[in-house]
Amino acid sequence: MNQLPTQHKSIQSVLLTHLQESFLTMLSPRKPALLRSFAVFIFLAATLPTVIIGTVFTSQASAGDQHSFKYPYEPYNQGAMDPQTTGWPLSDEQRSFSLRPEYERRPGREANKHLPKMWPVTPSAGFWGGTSWIDTHAKLVQYVQSNSGPCDVLLVGDSITQQWGSPLDKGVLNDAWMKHFAKLKTINIGIGGDKVQNVLWRIDHGGVAGIEPKAIVLMIGNNNMFFAPETGVEAVAEGVKTCIANLRSRFPAADVIVVSILPAHQPGNDFYENIIKTNTAINHLKLDNDPKIHTLDLTTDFLKADGTLKQELYTPDNIHLSLSGYAIYAERLKPMLDKIIPN
């Protein structure tokens, strides 16, 4: 049941209380019968608009409500950082704030503190210089709005997700996806370069508003590895957990498939080693204790026995996937999606 905002609820309550007190006084047996009948008429005439007004306020509050998810960093929840923590379009104040370099908007900066463990669990708009990241997000918001209502699959993540095929690129899903999932209505909101905190911000600022996915496929955390020496891998794992919690709170009926961060570079490289450690930290969180959360670890599919990458599954940068890599990914994903969305 919708609840009235406190201030409107108080007004309605006070009005009804005064009317009820007056009504009871008028119903006193000492009052003439005609006056008592007139009191009943007056009470009904007076209370009906009050109830209607309350209903209108309730409806307006519901229509204007913005999903509010609580984050571990309380100053963010209190508006001490982003002026607008939810909703789209952005206010002028929020847009101006979001166009500052990301390092100027990190948790702790508002209090002159260095709090890197809070970075991955606190929403932050991305920044590529100028308005390009915000413009990219805006394009995806428009794409989501044009596909509002039920959908089968929502893809969430960074460039590896984007390269399944995106409205930001050619606008069509790649061959690996189409081979297995052509019949599924799929919405892809991956943005290259995104970190966990950027996805959190996008979710809260129109990124998934109006859609109703049956399944969500989330792979995020690769770009957080650039900052893992400061944040630690456990904070990245907590960021992934926070992202899942936000999505689950918005789409309680949807199943979430959490895909491990794919191996990148080679053994001995810090980036490679921190991915392994982060995936281990995510596993320790036992996310799949929730029956609506399913984990998919692709590590062994993309590594040789000696721990080096299967080069044919990667592009020359040793991070992004070749079409052969997407084929493996899709084959592993298929039985999970088939179970969630039977043909």
303 and 240 assigned to the same domain:
yes
The Cα 297–Cα 261 span in angstroms is 8
Q: Domain for residue 128, yes or no?
A: yes
Q: Which domain holds residue 91?
A: 74-340
46 and 178 assigned to the same domain:
no
pLDDT tens digit string along 90-111?
Answer: 999 999 999 999 999 999 999 9
Contact assessment for residue 156 and residue 220, using Cβ atoms and an 8 Å cutoff: yes
pLDDT tens digit string along 15-62?
Answer: 344 444 454 455 555 556 555 555 545 544 544 443 333 333 333 333
Q: Domain for residue 69, yes or no?
A: no
The closest of 241, 240, 306, 238 to 272, measured between CA atoms, is: 306
pLDDT of residue 343: 77
86 and 51 assigned to the same domain:
no
Contact assessment for residue 227 and residue 239, using Cβ atoms and an 8 Å cutoff: no
Q: Which has the minimum average pLDDT: 9-13, 151-155, 241-245, 279-283?
A: 9-13
- For tokens 């770009």, the residue is 223
176 and 49 assigned to the same domain:
no
pLDDT tens digit string along 307-342?
Answer: 999 999 999 999 999 999 999 999 999 999 999 999
CATH number at residue 265: 3.40.50.1110
Q: Other CB atoms closer than 10 Å to residue 102's CB: what's the count? A: 17
- For tokens 């052509």, the residue is 182
pLDDT of residue 264: 98
Q: Domain for residue 19, yes or no?
A: yes
Q: Domain for residue 227, yes or no?
A: yes
The Cα 133–Cα 141 span in angstroms is 12
Q: Which residues contact 281 (CB under 8 A, 6 or more apart)?
A: 233, 234, 236, 237
pLDDT tens digit string along 194-214?
Answer: 999 999 999 999 999 999 999
pLDDT tens digit string along 114-146?
Answer: 999 999 999 999 999 999 999 999 999 999 999
For range 233-261, the mean pLDDT: 98
15 and 128 assigned to the same domain:
no
The closest of 300, 325, 299 to 313, measured between CA atoms, is: 325
Domain end call among 30, 64, 98: 64
Q: Say how many domains are in the chain.
A: 2
Assessment of whether the complete model's pTM goes beyond 0.85: no
For range 270-278, the mean pLDDT: 98
More confident residue, 29 or 254: 254
**Percentage of the chain with pLDDT > 70?**
80
Q: Please check the confidence at residue 8 and state whether its pLDDT lies above 70.
A: no
How many Å from the N-terminal Cα to the C-terminal Cα in the chain? 35
262 and 145 assigned to the same domain:
yes
253 and 312 assigned to the same domain:
yes
The closest of 287, 284, 320, 286 to 302, measured between CA atoms, is: 320
Q: How far is CA 285 from CA 238, 244, 256, in A?
A: 8, 12, 15
Structure tokens at 50: 């009050």
Average pLDDT of every residue of the chain: 87
Q: How far is CA 59 from CA 13, 149, 300, in A?
A: 17, 21, 52
Going by the DSSP 8-state scheme, the letter that residue 125 receives in this structure is -
